[in-house]
Amino acid sequence: MFSDSRESFELADAYLHRGVLGPGSRADALHVALATTGGADVIVSWNYKHIVNLRRIRLFNSVNLEWGYNPVEIRTPQEVLQYDEAI
């Protein structure tokens, strides 16, 4: 499913309005909004300050639910990748 970019920008604005992120983090808000409106199951990021942060993940998903979207999993690459220790 492809997202409507206008819808993504509106959702990003909702994150900013609700204080999930500050106004200087609009690109991070849009990153999460595009993934959410696009139907992504998981966002993988190293951005601990603005994205991979338990308090913020809960706030992102709170807004997502209010707007009628599914919650999105937000994880680090370490949580997603599996390494074969035998190799």
Q: What is the mean pLDDT of residues 70-83?
A: 90
Asked whether 71 and 61 are in contact (CB, 8 A), the reply is yes
- Structural domain for 49, as ranges: 5-79
Percent of the chain with pLDDT over 70: 90
State how many domains the chain has.
1
Average pLDDT score, the chain? 92
Instruction: Please report which helix (H) or strand (E) contains residue 57, including its range.
Output: helix 54-66
Q: What is the DSSP letter of 1?
A: -
Asked if residue 23 is part of any domain, the answer here is yes
Does residue 48 form part of some domain? yes
Please give the average per-residue pLDDT across 24-29, as a whole number: 97
pLDDT value at 2 more than 80: no
Domain contains 87: no
Summarised one tens digit per residue, pLDDT across range 33-60 is 999 999 999 999 999 999 999 999 999 9
Give the pLDDT of residue 66: 98
Domain membership of residue 37 (yes or no) is yes
* 19 inside domain: yes
Q: From the CB of residue 62, how many other CB atoms can be counted at a distance below 10 Å?
A: 14
